[in-house]
Structure 1
Amino acid sequence: MYKVLAVSGYKPHELGIFNEKHEYLDYLKTAIRKKLRQLIEEYEIEWIITSGQPGVELWAAEAVISMKKEYPVKLATLAPFFEQEERWGEQTKILYEKVWSESDYTDFISKRKYEHSSQLRMKNQFIIDKSDAFLVLYDELTEGSPQYYISYAKKKQEAAGYPVIYLTPDEIDEVIRDEQENSGWN
């Protein structure tokens, strides 16, 4: 049983997603929701933590909010610093504000605006330290921003058996196939 699950993954641009109308975004969101549902049921997870950053983190937070009627799971959004959304596009800001307002717990890890990349490293370490397991959408063959989170997670894994759980490209492909078959689209 893991009480607290941290979630992260690629940013939208790292996945080639540049707007909410991308043809595979709904499939990706479905895959995230499916994986979260599986882990919540399997490990009796009580809290999901993200930093609310664009991409997998916001999509996972959005999924948790939608599953609250179904599961007694809570959402914590721990932003790395004040006004992290300041330079984001309008759609991302709207989703972030929704996630922030509907989270069960919110806080800023660094109690000031962005000053240095060390605030992001501190965020990664803090969230890994506060969680019992880590779910990440990441492919070791395609580097990206999640690699920094993973480096902390793997250190904790080696020291304390901390589970690092991947949402794999194969799982996403399976969701795409299932959704296309169910819609009669071949």
Structure 2
Amino acid sequence: MKSLLICGYKDYELAIFKSSDPRITVIKKDIKKHLLKFIDEGLEWLIFSGNKGFEFWAYEVANELKGDYNLQLAVIFNFKTHGENWNEEGKMIISEYLKADFVQYAYDKYENPGQFKEYNRFLLNHTDGCFYFYDQEHETNFKYLLKMVQEKEDYESFGIDFEELEEFSRELNDDYSS
């Protein structure tokens, strides 16, 4: 697997409203564990759509790993207007994404709802797999992309959910307390 799409919960969907939230540390450590495994297996490209939350935390971890590994980052925004209504912290996130090795926009502007499906199809057709954070018991609009991921033939998907994060958090706590 050479290219991996990264996606999942947005920060507000997890009720995380500050970058100092301690849950982000646990999530980022779990992301790093998975990314290192993918890199060891030959991963070269990580593809992002430019969202806040899980995607951006994975982007930050991947940026840290770039110093030690031959890893490339691509951001393919859905629209050129992506993030223009975000607050100052959100605009900082966009500016970080714009530093990726490859940045592109799928569309100039929103014209119809079919663009989202075509955009998702494009992302899946240009990656070998998907790494995501999602729990089907806590649905969001991500369920539509996940359905496409699961239906795509010869496409690998690797998901983490709340249960895995809780287990990982317990392991971290055990490591610190021993």
TM-score normalised per structure 2: 0.91
Check conservation: 1:58, 1:96, Cα contact below 8 A. Answer: no
Taking the aligned partners of 1:50 and 1:88, their CA distance within structure 2 comes to: 18
Q: Does 1:25 align with 2:24?
A: yes
Deviation string 1:78-126 (CA, Å, 9 cap, x unpaired) is 000102011112112202211221x11110011x123443333222111
Q: What is the aligned partner in structure 2 of residue 146 from structure 1?
A: 142
Q: What is the aligned partner in structure 1 of residue 117 from structure 2?
A: 121
Which residue, 162, 171, 174 being the options, matches 1:169?
A: 162
Deviation string 1:48-77 (CA, Å, 9 cap, x unpaired) is 101011111111111111100121110000
Q: Does 1:104 align with 2:123?
A: no
What RMSD, in angstroms, separates the aligned Cα atoms of the two structures? 1.8
What is the CA-CA distance between 1:154 and the residue it aligns to? 1.6
Moved more, 175-184 or 24-33: 175-184
Which residue, 125, 129, 134 being the options, matches 1:133?
A: 129
Check conservation: 1:35, 1:167, Cα contact below 8 A. Answer: no
Q: Does 1:57 align with 2:55?
A: yes
Aligned residue pair count: 178
Q: What is the aligned partner in structure 2 of residue 87 from structure 1?
A: 85
Q: What is the aligned partner in structure 2 of residue 12 from structure 1?
A: 11
What is the CA-CA distance between 1:148 and the residue it aligns to? 1.7
Question: Gaps spanning 5+ residues in structure 2: where?
Answer: none
Taking the aligned partners of 2:167 and 2:142, their CA distance within structure 1 comes to: 22
Q: What is the aligned partner in structure 2 of residue 38 from structure 1?
A: 37
SS in 1 for 2:84: helix
Taking the aligned partners of 2:167 and 2:13, their CA distance within structure 1 comes to: 21
- Aligned residues: percent identity? 28
SS in 1 for 2:4: strand
Letter aligned with residue 95 of structure 1? I
What is the CA-CA distance between 1:13 and the residue it aligns to? 1.3
Check conservation: 1:5, 1:49, Cα contact below 8 A. Answer: yes
SS in 1 for 2:127: coil
Taking the aligned partners of 2:86 and 2:116, their CA distance within structure 1 comes to: 16
Taking the aligned partners of 1:23 and 1:114, their CA distance within structure 2 comes to: 35
Q: What is the aligned partner in structure 2 of residue 71 from structure 1?
A: 69
Taking the aligned partners of 1:177 and 1:53, their CA distance within structure 2 comes to: 28
TM-score normalised per structure 1: 0.87
What is the CA-CA distance between 1:175 and the residue it aligns to? 2.9
Taking the aligned partners of 1:123 and 1:62, their CA distance within structure 2 comes to: 23
